[in-house]
Amino acid sequence: MNTGTLTQQQNTMRSGDVAALEAAGLAQRNVAQQYLTGAQQEFQNQQLYPQQQLDWLNSQIKGIASNVPKMETINKGSTGDTYSASPLAQIASGVNLYKGLTS
């Protein structure tokens, strides 16, 4: 066998080995990137959780507020804003009234 042919075959085999290693490394990197992307998304979700809970509670309170009539005092000649108790204050007043009536 010719030395030139042997060298050429060795180079071809090495090129194949390099291509296989490159493909394996690329696949490994893609798996690692998917893991990191998932971990980053989970972290971001955890950072947003408190705000999401506050938003949910706020929407619940607003839902209660839409069912509770406002108590307003109208003063003719007054230029200030009218007072309206908050929904939570109204609920607390109702609970105190109930306790007073039942005791």
- Find how far residue 27's CA is from the centre of its chain: 30
| pLDDT tens sequence across 2-14 | 777 888 888 888 8
| pLDDT tens sequence across 41-88 | 999 999 999 998 998 888 888 876 544 445 555 555 555 556 666 778
pTM score: 0.43
Tell me the two tokens of residue 99. Answer: 């306790």
Confidence of residue 38 (pLDDT cuts 50, 70, 90): very high
d(CA 54, CA 50) in angstroms, rounded, equals 6
